[in-house]
Amino acid sequence: MSTEKKPKVLVARKTFPDIVERLRPHFEVETNDSEDGWPQAELIRRLQGKAGVYIAGGEKIDQILLDACPALKVISTMAVGYNNIDVPACTARGVLVTNAPDVLTETTADFGFALMMAAARRIAESEHFLRRGEWKQWSVTMFAGSDVHGATLGILGMGRIGQAIAKRGALGFGMQVIYHNRSRLPAEQEAPLNARWVEKEELLRQADHLVLVLPYSPAVHHIIGARELALMKPTATLTNIARGGIVDDAALAQALAAGTIAAAGLDVYEGEPALNPALLTVPNIVLTPHIASASIPTRRAMSGLAVDNLIAALTGGKPPTPLNPEVLGRS
Ligand code: 8YV
């Protein structure tokens, strides 16, 4: 039996125990067994001497942490989004970063579509009304919303998840799809999605249902604010499954209260898990706690991919989904 010491890794977010078990043959494993993430000082303390860390979207990996954890070689996030990680700072220090793309695309698109439909058809609002015991009689306009089928679906951010939502809209619901993205899709990808690239302003003006699926960066902070909401149709809905901070939540609450747009569906919030209390005061909004990728098979696949990345990266293998592959092979 080898007496060589195994590298140490930290699983900073609780996950499926059988998936954590897969790490144990390779590493000395420390886990976070609580549902809460650790504050950064605690994370730094626990990372001392660790070669790898498994994280989720909530752990902030910045220069302070990297400088305080010189043994760290690999950061593996179970999320596809990585705005919590300073990737250039990792690259500069030779630290590999991996994320978990693809495995959550369809599940997240399902949820985005569900949230959009719930907003359009006023499902949460009418359920709350019913639970409050306020349903006394039927009326012709009671909770009458807007149609999804045949409507114009606007998508801001046409990556993998945006395209999966477009596919649902075009093929399942006969929607016209317009989108705005830094780069236009090749014509052969647009055609089966019935999708047309438009300027952002046209997207806002034309969409009956606008879904946000773009990655967060400071450049897109509050890209949807009061001015943009005012350009939208009063009958339109807005759905955000991307990241908090892309939408100015205070402006959105005001727009919903004023009837500037008809309804919204939010899965992500500025400063989550806290949320702007004004959002709770408007009825025409569906609010969910960042669960767009939360089906059991998909959360298992995300965790499994993060573990695969960690094992490969620290045992001389080829990590499946590196974000900064240029650090591989650097000694
Ligand atoms: C995750 C997500 O659940 O993958 C992402 O980028 O936003 C979600 O699927 C979350 O980030 C995990 O912390």
Q: Is the CB of 12 under 6 A from ligand 1?
A: no
Per-residue confidence band for 2, with pLDDT thresholds at 50, 70 and 90: low
Count H helices, E strands: the chain? 13, 12
What percent of the chain shows pLDDT beyond 70? Answer: 99
Length of the chain: 331
Give the Cα separation of 154 and 210 in Å (integer): 4
Structure tokens at 298: 């998909």
Give, using CA atoms, the residue closest to atom 3 of ligand 1: 293
The conformation of residue 61, written as its DSSP 8-state character, comes to: B
Give the Cα separation of 282 and 279 in Å (integer): 6
Pocket test for ligand 1, best of 240, 290, 323 (most atoms within 8 A of CB): 290
Backbone phi, psi, residue 97, to 5°: -120, 135
Q: Measured at the alpha carbon of residue 242, what is the angle toward residues 147 and 148, in degrees to the nearest 5?
A: 5
Whether 261 and 233 have beta carbons less than 8 Å apart is answered as yes
Give, using CA atoms, the residue closest to atom 6 of ligand 1: 81
pLDDT value at position 163?
98
Give the distance (Å) from ligand 1 centre to CA of residue 83: 11
Question: What domains lie within the chain, and their CATH numbers?
Answer: 8-102+296-327 (3.40.50.720), 105-287 (3.40.50.720)
Per-chain mean pLDDT for the chain? 97
128-146 pLDDT, tens per residue? 999 999 999 999 999 999 9
Q: Which atom of ligand 1 is nearest to the CA of 243?
A: 7
The position carrying tokens 């359009």 is 120
3-state helix, strand, coil in the chain (%, to 5): 35, 15, 45
36-94 pLDDT, tens per residue? 999 999 999 999 999 999 999 999 999 999 999 999 999 999 999 999 999 999 999 99
Which amino acid would we find at residue 199?
E
> Rg of the Cα trace of the chain?
22
Backbone phi, psi, residue 287, to 5°: -120, 125
265-277 pLDDT, tens per residue? 999 999 999 999 9
Tell me if residue 299 is catalytic: no
pLDDT value at position 331?
59
Per-residue confidence band for 330, with pLDDT thresholds at 50, 70 and 90: confident
Tell me if residue 272 is catalytic: yes
pLDDT surpasses 70 at 1: no
Burial 60-80 (b: 16+ CB within 10 A, else e): ebeeebbeebeebbbbbbbbb
Q: Which atom of ligand 1 is nearest to the CA of 99?
A: 4
279-312 pLDDT, tens per residue? 999 999 999 999 999 999 999 999 999 999 999 9
Structure tokens at 168: 């649902």
Structure tokens at 259: 């009837």
Q: What is the mean pLDDT of residues 250-255?
A: 98
Give the distance (Å) from ligand 1 centre to CA of residue 57: 5
28-31 β-sheet, strand order: 28-31, 8-11, 52-55, 74-77, 96-98
Whether 99 and 82 have beta carbons less than 8 Å apart is answered as yes
Q: Is the CB of 57 under 6 A from ligand 1?
A: yes
pLDDT value at position 3?
58
Tell me if residue 46 is catalytic: no
pLDDT value at position 156?
98
Backbone phi, psi, residue 272, to 5°: -60, 150
The catalytic residue among 290, 299, 326, 330 is 290
Give the distance (Å) from ligand 1 centre to CA of residue 1: 40
3-class secondary structure, 76: strand
Give the Cα separation of 57 and 36 in Å (integer): 12
Whether 288 and 115 have beta carbons less than 8 Å apart is answered as yes
